[in-house]
């Protein structure tokens, strides 16, 4: 299963396999944000997304495999990577400000470069924040932050921030191999790309995704993610109609049954991803975005507007091939139940 080291490799793979794609828009560096239509002509449509967090590359590879192999009569629209800049890595992200890619031997060298070439806005323990040109750079990923809470970050308002991310233990996402993208919105909230789906102001990645969904009206949305612990889990959404809710539950039951039967490691019984989740059984969590705040992610928005939606989370320490296989199994199982609904 191919690991894509550069976004250009992903586009080359699509071309080599004979897949045409629609350019939905362009990332800030000019790289195209693409969607591939596959499947048949039957409606309603299925929408699949991956790669909104650049460290979660098994989802990207799974999406590419689905483009190649998914067999269904329904129209399928797949965005295989929602963050091309992040996929290209931290040195590439630095090149957007420096004009060329620096040679970074390790994280320490990257931190020293931020000190030497940037304006240091904030520093604490293992976190350094620097402004270089038009972009911000963090020495690690930090969530739940805002300009209001950290006034020194005011120069970042309205800008992109690229974070050092990854681990040598994670196949496909070693340290600096990816850049984790954050956006400081006009209100000073620091959020990742998988937000903004319900907000008036939104970055291009969220805007083109919303526009595509409005065009194709998907009755099933799957967003392929990963997380930093061992074990598989996914989040479902409570639906606005009894019929949608019944099928969301059927799909949830089928997904966890198939994954468990395949011998995939699940999460511990006492695990809960956050206070805004409820659990019906191990590794099946129902997310309430209104309790979380921060704006709707893709699956939140899809559930609100279109119907059943799931965010699939594979365990990053469990090996790349295992992660891709689990993501594929979850997606194909959900689609199988979806097809039963629309016989």
- pLDDT digits 0-9 by tens, 230-276: 999 999 999 999 999 999 999 999 999 999 999 999 999 999 999 99
Q: For residues 328 and 314, what is the distance between their CA atoms, to the nearest angstrom? A: 10
Range of the domain at 270: 7-83+199-341
**pLDDT band at residue 292 under the 50/70/90 scheme:** confident
Share of the chain above pLDDT 70, in %: 100
Q: How many structural domains does the chain have? A: 2
**pLDDT band at residue 295 under the 50/70/90 scheme:** confident
DSSP state of 3: P
Residue 118 lies in a domain: yes
Given 192, 219, 246, which residue is the final one in a domain? 192
Residues 216 and 70 in one domain: yes
The confidence score (pLDDT) of residue 290 equals: 84
Q: Per the confidence metrics, is the pTM higher than 0.85?
A: yes
C-beta neighbour count of 183 within 10 angstroms: 22
- The residue-averaged pLDDT of 298-304 equals 96
Residues 177 and 33 in one domain: no
**Cα 246–Cα 225–Cα 247 angle in degrees, nearest 5:** 10
Is pLDDT of 151 > 90?
A: yes
**pLDDT band at residue 89 under the 50/70/90 scheme:** very high
Is residue 45 within 8 A of residue 227, CB to CB? The reply is no
Mean per-residue pLDDT over the chain, rounded: 96
**Cα 205–Cα 141–Cα 32 angle in degrees, nearest 5:** 25
Is residue 98 within 8 A of residue 67, CB to CB? The reply is no
The confidence score (pLDDT) of residue 291 equals: 86
Can you tell me whether residue 72 is helix, strand or coil? coil
Q: For residues 85 and 107, what is the distance between their CA atoms, to the nearest angstrom? A: 19
Q: For residues 303 and 306, what is the distance between their CA atoms, to the nearest angstrom? A: 6
The confidence score (pLDDT) of residue 271 equals: 95
Residue that has been written with the tokens 């991310």 in this structure: 165
Domain CATH code at residue 282: 3.40.630.10
Given 165, 192, 219, which residue is the final one in a domain? 192
Joined tokens for residue 57: 């590359």
Residue 230 lies in a domain: yes
Q: For residues 293 and 37, what is the distance between their CA atoms, to the nearest angstrom? A: 32
């Amino acid at each position: 299963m191919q690991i894509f080291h550069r976004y250009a490799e992903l586009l080359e793979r699509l071309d080599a396999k004979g897949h045409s794609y629609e350019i939905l828009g362009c990332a800030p560096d000019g790289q195209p944000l693409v969607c591939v239509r596959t499947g048949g002509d039957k409606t309603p449509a299925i929408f699949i997304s991956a790669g909104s967090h650049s460290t979660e590359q098994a989802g990207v590879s799974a999406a590419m495999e689905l483009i190649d192999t998914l067999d269904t009569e329904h129209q399928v629209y797949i965005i295989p990577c929602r963050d091309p800049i992040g996929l290209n890595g931290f040195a590439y992200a630095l090149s957007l400000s420096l004009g060329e890619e620096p040679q970074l031997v390790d994280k320490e060298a990257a931190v020293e470069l931020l000190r030497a070439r940037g304006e240091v806005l904030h520093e604490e323990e293992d976190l350094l924040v620097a402004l270089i040109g038009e972009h911000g750079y963090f020495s690690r990923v930090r969530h739940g932050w805002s300009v209001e809470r950290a006034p020194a970050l005011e120069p970042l308002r309205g800008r992109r921030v690229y974070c050092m991310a990854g681990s040598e233990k994670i196949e496909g996402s070693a340290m600096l191999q990816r850049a984790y993208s954050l956006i400081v919105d006009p209100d000073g909230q620091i959020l990742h790309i998988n937000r903004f789906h319900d907000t008036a102001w939104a970055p291009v990645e969220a805007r083109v995704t919303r526009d595509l969904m409005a065009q194709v009206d998907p009755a099933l949305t799957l967003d392929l993610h990963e997380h930093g612990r061992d074990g598989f889990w996914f989040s479902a959404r409570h639906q606005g109609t009894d019929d949608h809710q019944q099928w969301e539950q059927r799909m949830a039951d089928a997904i966890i049954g198939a994954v468990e039967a395949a011998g995939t490691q699940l999460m511990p019984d006492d695990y809960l991803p956050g206070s805004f989740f409820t659990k019906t059984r191990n590794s099946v969590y129902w997310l309430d975005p209104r309790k979380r705040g921060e704006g709707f992610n893709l699956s939140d928005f899809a559930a609100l507007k279109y119907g059943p939606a799931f965010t699939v989370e594979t365990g990053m320490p469990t090996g790349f091939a295992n992660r891709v296989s689990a993501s594929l199994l979850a997606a194909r199982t959900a689609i199988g139940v979806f097809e039963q609904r629309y016989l």
